[in-house]
Chain A
Amino acid sequence: MSEIASNLQIGPEGEAISDDHLVEQSRKGAMEAFEELVRRHRDKIYARAFSMMRNEDSAVELSQLAWIRAWQKLDQFKGDSSFTTWLTRITINLCLDEIRKRKRNAADSIEELDESGGVERKLPVMEFNPTARMERSELRRKIDEALSQLSDSHRSVIVLHEFEGMEYREIAEAMGCSIGTVMSRLFYARRRLASLLSGARNELT
């Protein structure tokens, strides 16, 4: 780590340098201040991109692109929200763009089947075994797997609503669809998750 970069973590009186200060320095062109922001929030931004894309390479690439966009648009950041919230929204928009691009390129038949409930109807009903206690990490792994099995648009709506706490209206704007579609997608996504986790969900009850 460079001396400049380490100086940006702690101020002259030993206080932690705030994100706001680093953003201000970055606005003036201090790339080392921006690097410090990357150091602080890289994992969070990567994790959000991963939750949307479910692919390491795509998540790394899109999260890096989000940082680049953030640098380029730094003058547009008004500070209405925290820097990480603003950056997370940039990341989400890039992920949604990528998903739209992929959707255009690929046949959408699987997703249509998914939305009409076709896939779920074919899934076997999992039996509840009250004696099977799963470790929390195992439970999380199962949830992670289940989320990976959702279609891009179903997963996106879950991530935006559950993780980002976005309202139906905000999700509809971000995804370019109606509020009704958001509600329906959210329901089918949850229904699919419930189906996939019908064994695991008892662990949280």
Chain B
Amino acid sequence: MESGNNTPKHLMLQAYADGELSPAERSHVQSLLVTDPQLHSEIESIQSLRDALDQAGEPPRTCPMEQHDFFGHIFRGLQQSGSASPEALTMELVLEIQAYVDGELSGSDRQGVEKVLAGNAAARTLLAQLKKTAALTLADDEVLRPCPESHDFYWAGIHRELQTGGRDSSSSASQTAAGPLKSMLQWLLNPVVVPAALVFVICIMVGHQFERRGIYQQVQVSSAYVDQQSGIAVYFVDSPEFLNGAID
């Protein structure tokens, strides 16, 4: 990682973020920000970092020079392209310092950051802050947080699932896809299904016989019984020819 944002333009942005520019210089920066999206995002990064340092309750930056000289340095830098302020902290540098704290940098990158840290008080402040925050966060993992369920209750929930499921759900997608097929197979294996299907087929066949013989006719119903609960109705028919014709 490389921090290449210590350019005069960037330093001017730092001064802008600090509210140290004259009205004329300020309006000049504002016009630049409108036309340059990269500068705009840079000023947001600077502001974010300043906020972070402010909220940490520590001096956001320590300036080794008198205010006047410091900003004089910035503007001299604007005329001499490439010069940099020791106090410049870009978002890139912030993340680089974080990677340093997290042990993510290689040897040469580490040395690069250490060099920056040696000459930049704000960078050192940030380093200390990151270390403290990490230490505090780790303290939370030491909190003993036992499971609120008893072992028996907790295990029962797992055990129930283990009894119904098999080993290796690596093909869980195919299992999901096979779900409807499995349900259908289970439905077909239900002992009620076969007799029900037989009755259904017989009804179709008998109905077909009625239709073929054209024996749909009005018949005299002598009496009827209707079971309200099941909805089944039994009709008693007077004419015996009707039945003879139906079962021929």
Contact = CB atoms under 8 A, between A and B. Distances in A.
Interface of A: 31, 34-35, 38-39, 42-43, 46-47, 50-51, 56, 60, 63-64, 67-69, 71-76, 116-117, 120-121, 123, 125-128, 139-140, 143-144, 147, 158, 161-163, 167-168, 183-184, 186-187, 190-191, 193-195, 197-198, 200-201, 204-205
Given A38-B154, A147-B137, A197-B136, A190 B55 contact: no
Nearest to B129: A194
Interface residues of B, number: 48
Contacts of B104: 167-168
Contact of B57 (A34, A125, A168, A190): A125
A186 B134 CA distance: 11
B84 interface: no
Which residue of A42, A63, A116, A163 has the most chain B CB atoms within 10 A of its CB atom?
A42
A68 B133 contact: no
Contact of A193 (B133, B142, B168): B133
A60 B102 CA distance: 31
Contacts of B129: 194
B161 interface: yes
Contacts of A205: 132
Contact of A46 (B132, B139, B146, B165): B146
B55 A194 contact: yes
A36 B204 CA distance: 59
Interface string B162-173: 100111111000
A31 B156 CA distance: 12
Contact of A191 (B52, B140, B143, B159): B52
Given A34-B162, A200-B136, 17 more contacts: A38-B158, A47-B147, A51-B141, A64-B154, A68-B158, A68-B165, A116-B48, A121-B51, A158-B137, A162-B138, A183-B98, A187-B98, A194-B133, A195-B56, A197-B136, A198-B57, A204-B136
